[in-house]
Amino acid sequence: VNPGRSEVCNGVDDNCVGGIDEGVQSTFFRDADGDTYGSTASGTTQACSAPSGYVSNNSDCNDGNASVRPGGTEVC
């Protein structure tokens, strides 16, 4: 830990600027229906790895129904 060090995702203020893991976290999207596809509308969080209930994609068009998802079977 020192002022010239690069920040890494490890829960430590590696570069001594007063923040922990700043600039190196990823955005994760809440997967409200558990179908492994998230949605920006369902909520996001910044973290080093996906927390429980969150995924790295935001391609779900209906996060309230697990049957509606990318690659899902179209029914009439």
Terminal C-alpha separation, the chain: 59
pTM summary value: 0.84
Residues 6+ apart with CB under 8 A from 14: 1, 5, 6, 7, 8
Contact 70, 37 (CB under 8 A): yes
Round the CA-based radius of gyration of the chain to a whole number and report it. 17
* CA–CA distances in Å: residue 65 to residues 19, 37, 57: 38, 11, 16
For tokens 């920040």, the residue is 7
List, for residues 3-45, the tens digit of each pLDDT value: 989 999 999 999 999 999 999 999 999 999 999 999 999 999 9
